[in-house]
């Protein structure tokens, strides 16, 4: 079974530039998550999708971050404009659905460096 795919793996940009990350979840997984993981910290949930609807985006900085999930499959996370403090690894995860016992399957992440 193919895992969660993310691209790019690494990205370096200057502050005030924009950047986009792409995620392809495991086939058939209804739930998709985007996390931000700052060095030395645990992942912080940014947004959760159930199919193509948003379940929770309360921790997404909406003035600069946006995310969408096209047709309930792939997802993109965008930052515009980027700030220095956005330097982090952005992780995408998927799970089969909102039922007890669901585990999240994580992708390898995209490491963003903002200069």
Partner 1 sequence: LAKTTQPISMDSYEGQEVNITCSHNNIATNDYITWYQQFPSQGPRFIIQGYKTKVTNEVASLFIPADRKSSTLSLPRVSLSDTAVYYCLVGPTGGGNKLTFGTGTQLKVEL
6-32 burial, b at 16+ Cβ within 10 Å, e below that, comes to beeeebebeeeeebebebbbbeebbbb
SS3 of 98, please? coil
Footprint (CB under 8 A) of partner 1, residues 52-71 = 55-56, 58-59
Q: Does 22 bind partner 1 (CB under 8 A)?
A: no
Query: Strand 110-114 vs strand 10-13: parallel, antiparallel, or unpaired?
Result: parallel
CB of 97 to partner 1, least distance (A): 9
* Spatial distance between the Cα atoms of 61 and 21, rounded to a whole number of angstroms: 16
Site string for partner 1, 23-42 (x = CB under 8 A): --------x-x-------xx
Backbone φ and ψ of 85, nearest 5° = -75, -5
Site string for partner 1, 69-98 (x = CB under 8 A): ----------------------x-x----x
CB of 30 to partner 1, least distance (A): 11
CB of 16 to partner 1, least distance (A): 27
Q: Give how many residues touch partner 1 by CB under 8 A.
A: 28
* Spatial distance between the Cα atoms of 95 and 42, rounded to a whole number of angstroms: 19
Query: Could you list the residues that contact partner 1 (CB under 8 A)?
Result: 4, 31, 33, 41-45, 48, 55-56, 58-59, 91, 93, 98-109, 111
């Amino acid at each position: 079974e193919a895992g969660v795919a993310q691209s790019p793996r690494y990205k370096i940009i200057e502050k005030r530039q924009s950047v986009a990350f792409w995620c392809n979840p495991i086939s058939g997984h209804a739930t998709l998550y985007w996390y931000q993981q700052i060095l030395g910290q645990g992942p912080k949930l940014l947004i959760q999708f159930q199919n193509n609807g948003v379940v929770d985006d309360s921790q997404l900085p909406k003035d600069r971050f946006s995310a969408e999930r096209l047709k309930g499959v792939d997802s993109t996370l965008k930052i515009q404009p980027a700030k220095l403090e956005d330097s982090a690894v952005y992780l995408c995860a998927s799970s089969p659905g909102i039922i007890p016992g669901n585990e999240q399957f994580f992708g390898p992440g995209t490491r963003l460096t903002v200069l």
